[in-house]
Structure 1
């Protein structure tokens, strides 16, 4: 099981100052409105949706950013943004290293920083192993230069995100170790990051879309979770166990039953049963609309992954928060993945780690 053990974010959206956050297993990041919680979570999502690409992916599976300057604190095109992550090497990472002749100890920490500036498309990348710098590269004009462990020219400008191509020098072998670590990190994290933003709130369309299916990245990214996804889980045999788990967890939240399906040609509707009565989902209130994508994602997230949930307290009264956080923590521990949440206040008597931002 890989774990995200640390994040470093500076200059991204609402985080003008540097935020360095350590994650100890399942963690809740707590802070008031405007403290930078969402900026922190979205920075992680941006980096992971750009993983392996030639440049930052601004319109991807997790986030849709219409203007590049919207990413920068104060909308300043001269501003510099840094997003850094530190992941624990798991069994997959250990095996990947061995396949290319790199001996990595399980539990070692690979650190990676990506810094950029949109005005001149300057980029700087850093890779660490157990907090020791392995390589630092920088884009200068249209060229690339290695700054550490030696000064050398790169074969291409280092704009690739979390990819070994960004560290290739034209002559010499100074980049060999960094290339190996980037290969391991990039492949180790494949299909191991899931993100639910505050835009996950359930919504419904009247006409059925024949192409609707469960997304492979996260069921609620950018509000894409609809009643159609629930109908997929309810009606397809391969999701029979998932549907049962969803109903069980929702039952813990006071919802007696939940159903979705055709009510007319080309129309799918969803209903919930509360206090013995069935009502349309759009009458169910913000609590259910915000929690349903979370509950579905909890049972779909595979072992060994990292699940990030921004605004876990969305739609919840304060006395409901602890119960929801305990459900999230319990399911994550049972399946075997890490969950990182954010909220305005800390839950009471919870087993998750609390970090203030």
Structure 2
């Protein structure tokens, strides 16, 4: 180990609207020293995910906000650099939550062992991690797909949406994706096996969605909100299910959208059509079922039934710019930062 400092990115200020580079600060801190029963971790991969935008706000939510001048939160794949813990060896890989920094200290609690030589270590942050788990449980437990159902999912080539659509196909659904741009839509159909994918940037997006959903929508996996949900709402069938895991289009909003209050319209549709709409926080609600997910997903991957794409960014220093791009839909696949090379 030749590093002389622990590079870390902290929350310098709270954003008003979309984050800017001024909201982040890259700084050097001393490399921490593990005490008895502790291990020193060095990150190799950092996951960037939309939920992090909410943690930048000083607002009540399902988790505490990041404090000013503290390290940005995030899941990481790390190697053990130094161990004073009987259950961990130097060089071992672990899934951790050390955030936007090179080094972290752990007493072992909450770490998931990955062995000494995992074949695709970064997959633990995507297809085999929180995004894949979110797709799996939201669709199967709340969406309750049945053969012949029409499933619509936005952000169709993203970390969650791409998994939702592919699992939907495995369960016999007709899958309609929504994505931004011709390239992403083409990928959803040609590589992921979706039946159709509609570009939400098209001026006639709502009309195109209605044409390919002529028999209505049985499941809408909601992770975007905004104009996509506006187009979906009138197409929902009686008994439709809406798993709700995110609203990325609204994360930078500072006020309610312009226009009339449509809450009564939404509530009326939920009532008349007996629609089930349920939000969930994946590890709060489903941590006890991770083994079920891991068994199915690892089998599907091994059999070539699931395709997975990473958008890999090199360098911790580039995490803020990559994160800001994520909120604008500039990533193509699961966004991961390689913070360091393996030891």
TM-score for both structures, normalised by structure 1: 0.27
TM-score with structure 2 setting the length: 0.28
